[in-house]
Structure 1
Amino acid sequence: MRTRGGSRTTATGRGPGRRLSGAAVRSASGALAAVVVATPFLGAWSYESTRRAVSAQAAAPRAGQDALPGEIVRTRASAPVVLAYHDVNPEPTNDYTLTPRQLDAQLAKLEAAGYRSLTTEEFTRYLATGTTPAPHTVYLTFDDGTRGLWAHADQVLAKHKMHAASFLITGAVGTHRPYYLSWAEIDLMKSSGRWDFQDHTHLSHERAAIDAAGHQGSVLANRLWLADEERLETESEYRTRVRTDLDESLRAFSDHHLPAPQLFAYPFSETAGPTNLAARNTSVLERLLRERFTASLTNVSSRPLPAGPRAAAARQVQRLEVMRTTSTNTFAKQLNEWVSRSPDEVPEPLRNPEQWQFPGSPPGTGLAALTGKGVANGTYVSAVHLPMGTADWNTYRVSATVAGLSGTRTSASVEVGHGSLVPVTVTVSEAGVRVTERPSDGTARVTTGKIAPAARHRLNLEVSPGGVRVTVDGGHALVARATKVLDPARTSGGVSLAVRNEAGKAAAWPRFSALRISP
């Protein structure tokens, strides 16, 4: 659960050795004799303590009606979808806890659609090589290391022959029982072959004051307010604290004979949120993580980063978070939005309204807003086509026909490389075309041209890592991003559309009358 964190502890180091006095030796000898006498009793106590630290397991639920095969897309070969879970309990008390029946229904849908789960080793190998042991895969992750994974989720995994990764708050293991896992349970989970364990901090999965007013923030992503000293933690103190926490967590893995974790999950997924670190040092945490892990995982990102070349280059992977409120049908729908497609698998996106998202638009905005209806309030509307499923496109062609253009106060735009570090937007009006490049450094390069005035224009965009060639009505050509061949992971991304109408409510909206995508 997001708001839970372990209690703070301090590690006591061993000091240098010292010579014992005679009395001390005699005392030590007596203590040793006492230990010998007490050993059988201590052994029995230790066994009983360990036994109590292992909760009973519940059997996996029987399949219900909603566990029947669902409509999960199977493309020719898709990148893994990373699913983020938290706790599993038959009596959930928060939105981050699924019931065993919910988890069973979702895994049944994946199994019926032919999906295979990956181990962490297989997933990190995919990030490095782009290959998976099966064409349709998921990577199942569970944050926080709750006891429900052993007591309720484990047998559901066994039923569906799936594997999962538990991201541990190592300082919380064995505390707040029965909420968190014990080390004994972790050992049994490891032995089952169904689980591996990754990192979620030692004791930094909590919020604390980050300014004098008492505003709360993630302790991992912010300098803390030191109330006793009435000051903010220095950046040097911040680095030392975070470094110590991460290394303490890695030490806990080693001390309990677990393989060194390869992945790190951000507490609260606070990777893109506000931080009080100075602008020049906002990457301090990122550097500390890169020194210790192959990649980090988050549920919230400033741009789409599903598992794939783009995410591998960023060394940060975005996950699809599954909540208790996620119905089985919603689960299938969301998964379909994340499954990677090739350009020839979605040739006519305007025929598939469910493939479009309208970020920043009024609720209920649909594809009709782009095909002539517009919006009742406002002068601009935009939509993105499968931003997760197309994030790694880098070579494709877009053909679009725009109609209903009038004067300079109406226009329509096609963006390619959506969510990339170098997106390119082509905007056409009745008599002009504009190509805008927006590299990640915040600058903008704009190229304009005149075209024969008409209410209808046809755009063709040929996209490759080396550039974007734009042709209007088969004749006027402009080229963007052509100075050098860039890394495909920097330029990759799919398509977004926009229409603008500043001519007043009485004026007709421009519209996309055709859109085709091809390899």
Structure 2
Amino acid sequence: MTHSAPGRAVLGLLAAAMACVPFYGAWRFDEFHRSVAAQEAPPARGAAQVAGGQASGRRTEGPAPVVLAYHDIGRDSRSRYTVTPEAFDAQLAALAAAGYRTLSSEEFTAYLRGGPAPGPRSVFLTFDDGAHGLWVHADRILARYRMRASAFLITRAVGSHRPYYLSWEEIGRMARSGRWDFENHTHDLHRREAVDATGRTSSALASRLWLPGEERRETAQEYRRRIEADLDRSIGDITRRGLPRPRLFAYPFSETNGHTSASPTDRTLHTALAERFVAALTNNSGRPLPAGRRAASAREVQRVEVTAGTGVRELLAEVRRWTAVSPADCPAPLGQPRSWRRDGRWRGPGLGAFTGAGPYPGPTGYATAAYRPMGSADWTGYGVDFRVAGLRESENSVGVIVRDGSLDPLEVSLSFSYVRLREHRGGRWHEIGRRTLTDASAHRVRITVEDGRTLVAVDGRTQIRQAARATGGDATGGIAVSVRNGDPDGGWPRFDSLTVRPSAGAGKDGARRG
């Protein structure tokens, strides 16, 4: 049998193709395995000591989850942002032993939108950047404890700089496991760029950039177009892979520039994020924003950062510190000195500067402290009763701030002869009311905080009513106290007592009923 020249050519091509099939298969196999690395088995049980113990029988924590911020899990790294597999395993073991469960992105965003509380003890695990260690190390450890997490991807980095970043193939496997959700960390704005002619750098997301070729900064319109295009592209990168549309965003470097700022750049960024996501996550904030009513109103949630130096005991202590408490759980705050955060220049030990035991900042000066600023961020519908003594005419005073950390904090300042109300706006305190009192070195005060108003009564006689300027989550917050002495030859004032109670009409959690 003979073949024409064209026929012989076709047969030759077919033979060559058949010969190449094994080589192509081997290439594809090698390419796949370079895209999907082998996972490492989790550390042996008992390799790390688990501290913290079992959950207590009486749970007093509120329902708001605590958000934890990780970056990478790995070995032999000098980065403070890389937690070893052994440390991560010990942390999850301790959380599980203490009765905590982890949330999915859907559960977390549903809660922020006003949905049902996720439970008395819950944490939301987040990982920024999309590092390779999430697949190699973290995934198997999550599986061990039947926990889940959310990874915030820099979508341009996916599959690049291997093996540092995850590949899309690994991300697909992680999503199909049911242990992982994938959220947004920009497409290509996780970097710092020059923002002026001197070369000073800042976040490429949160700042208008310097255009060296034109020797000027971006206009507001150019900035808006640039960040919106990046956010939309990153969302598309994720959804094109068959993954759910991201509902959460994490700021690169946690550089937010503060969404409450009046600058056009900050307003533009906040608007762009609010149009695309339920909330943006950060590790730094100008005021306490733990997950809850206040954070939902701000569309911004603050996280507990976990680094290589975070031990198990420290992590559990931070989770407890950030866990919501109700006014009913805190009847006598002065009896909990470790629950106060000292602010200002003086941060002496204990509460002696406020209770009369000392030490003090000096012969004269000022001291202030906030009570559980994270745990009380969502307080509303509560009352504060206190007695102060040691007041001297025109020489010293005490203050109690209610709705502390909100957009509308109110200070009740008390002296020998008068009571003043001050509100905070424009970065400063402004007096908005004053009443003369019967001169006395001691006074009793009752403050009642309700939605829309604050009532102040001094010595059972003098009363002041003040309408709130903010509402809802923007007006929630706990208490802070201060003492001031202006006479080096005189004494410091003191709080003889201070109690907190739910107000009439508020539930045990401090929320207004009816």
Using structure 1 for the length normalisation, give the TM-score: 0.88
Report the CA distance between 1:385 and its aligned residue: 0.4
Q: Deviations over 1:194-239 (max 9, x none)?
A: 1110000011001011111011100001111122332222222211
Q: Deviations over 1:258-302 (max 9, x none)?
A: 111000000011113699x99234211111111211111111111
1:291 aligns with 2:275: yes
For residue 516 of structure 1, the aligned residue among 499, 506, 510 is 499
Partner of 1:9: none
1:54 aligns with 2:16: no
1:402 aligns with 2:384: no
The residue correspondences of 1:480-491 to structure 2 (distance < 5 A) are 480-481=466-467, 487-491=471-475
Aligned amino acid, residue 342 of structure 2: F
CA contact (8 A) 1:299 1:320 kept: yes
> Is the deviation greater in 340-349 or in 46-55?
46-55
CA contact (8 A) 1:426 1:433 kept: yes
- Cα separation, 2, equivalents of 1:408 and 1:278: 37
Report the CA distance between 1:371 and its aligned residue: 1.6
CA contact (8 A) 2:346 2:367 kept: no
- Cα separation, 2, equivalents of 1:68 and 1:149: 24
> Is the deviation greater in 359-368 or in 491-500?
359-368
Q: Deviations over 1:373-423 (max 9, x none)?
A: 221376111000011100111100101111111111200000000011111
For residue 213 of structure 2, the aligned residue among 228, 241, 253 is 228
- Cα separation, 1, equivalents of 2:110 and 2:258: 29
Partner of 1:258: 243
1:462 aligns with 2:448: yes
Where in structure 2 are there 5+ consecutive unaligned residues?
1-12, 503-514
1:379 aligns with 2:361: no
- Cα separation, 1, equivalents of 2:215 and 2:113: 46
- Cα separation, 1, equivalents of 2:61 and 2:156: 43
Q: Deviations over 1:122-172 (max 9, x none)?
A: 000001124234321111000000011111111211111111000000100
The residue correspondences of 1:36-435 to structure 2 (distance < 5 A) are 41-61=23-43, 62-64=45-47, 66-70=49-53, 74-272=59-257, 279-372=263-356, 373=358, 374-376=360-362, 379-435=365-421
Residues 204 and 76 (structure 1), Cα distance of their counterparts in 2 relative to 1, 3 Å cut: closer
Point out 4+ residue stretches in structure 1 off by more than 6 angstroms. 31-37, 440-443
CA contact (8 A) 2:153 2:184 kept: yes
- Cα separation, 2, equivalents of 1:252 and 1:33: 40
* Partner SS for 1:290: helix
CA contact (8 A) 2:143 2:179 kept: yes
Q: Deviations over 1:290-327 (max 9, x none)?
A: 12111111111111111111111111111111122222
* Partner SS for 2:343: coil
* Partner SS for 2:90: helix
* Partner SS for 1:228: coil
Q: Deviations over 1:105-137 (max 9, x none)?
A: 221221112111000000000011242343211
CA contact (8 A) 1:424 1:480 kept: no
CA contact (8 A) 1:72 1:336 kept: no
Aligned amino acid, residue 167 of structure 2: S
- Cα separation, 1, equivalents of 2:395 and 2:203: 45
Aligned amino acid, residue 303 of structure 2: R
- Cα separation, 2, equivalents of 1:70 and 1:118: 22
* Partner SS for 2:37: coil
Q: Deviations over 1:434-488 (max 9, x none)?
A: 0112357978451101111111111110110121111111221111126x8x533
CA contact (8 A) 2:51 2:94 kept: yes
Partner of 2:435: 449
Aligned amino acid, residue 220 of structure 1: L
* Partner SS for 1:129: coil
Residues 106 and 429 (structure 1), Cα distance of their counterparts in 2 relative to 1, 3 Å cut: same
> Is the deviation greater in 335-344 or in 131-140?
131-140
Residues 71 and 501 (structure 1), Cα distance of their counterparts in 2 relative to 1, 3 Å cut: farther
Report the CA distance between 1:37 and its aligned residue: 8.4
CA contact (8 A) 1:437 1:480 kept: no
- Cα separation, 1, equivalents of 2:131 and 2:257: 26
- Cα separation, 2, equivalents of 1:417 and 1:492: 5
Residues 66 and 352 (structure 1), Cα distance of their counterparts in 2 relative to 1, 3 Å cut: farther
- Cα separation, 1, equivalents of 2:354 and 2:14: 82
Aligned amino acid, residue 336 of structure 1: R
> Is the deviation greater in 127-136 or in 385-394?
127-136
Report the CA distance between 1:356 and its aligned residue: 0.5
Residues 259 and 360 (structure 1), Cα distance of their counterparts in 2 relative to 1, 3 Å cut: same
> Is the deviation greater in 68-77 or in 192-201?
68-77
Residues 422 and 175 (structure 1), Cα distance of their counterparts in 2 relative to 1, 3 Å cut: same
* Partner SS for 2:111: helix
Aligned amino acid, residue 316 of structure 1: E
> Is the deviation greater in 445-454 or in 211-220?
445-454
* Partner SS for 1:217: strand
Using structure 2 for the length normalisation, give the TM-score: 0.89
- Cα separation, 2, equivalents of 1:205 and 1:72: 39
Aligned amino acid, residue 146 of structure 1: A
Seq. identity, %: 47
- Cα separation, 1, equivalents of 2:167 and 2:321: 37
- Cα separation, 1, equivalents of 2:342 and 2:54: 23
CA contact (8 A) 1:72 1:335 kept: no
CA contact (8 A) 2:206 2:265 kept: no
Aligned amino acid, residue 188 of structure 1: R
Aligned residues: 486
Residues 201 and 367 (structure 1), Cα distance of their counterparts in 2 relative to 1, 3 Å cut: same
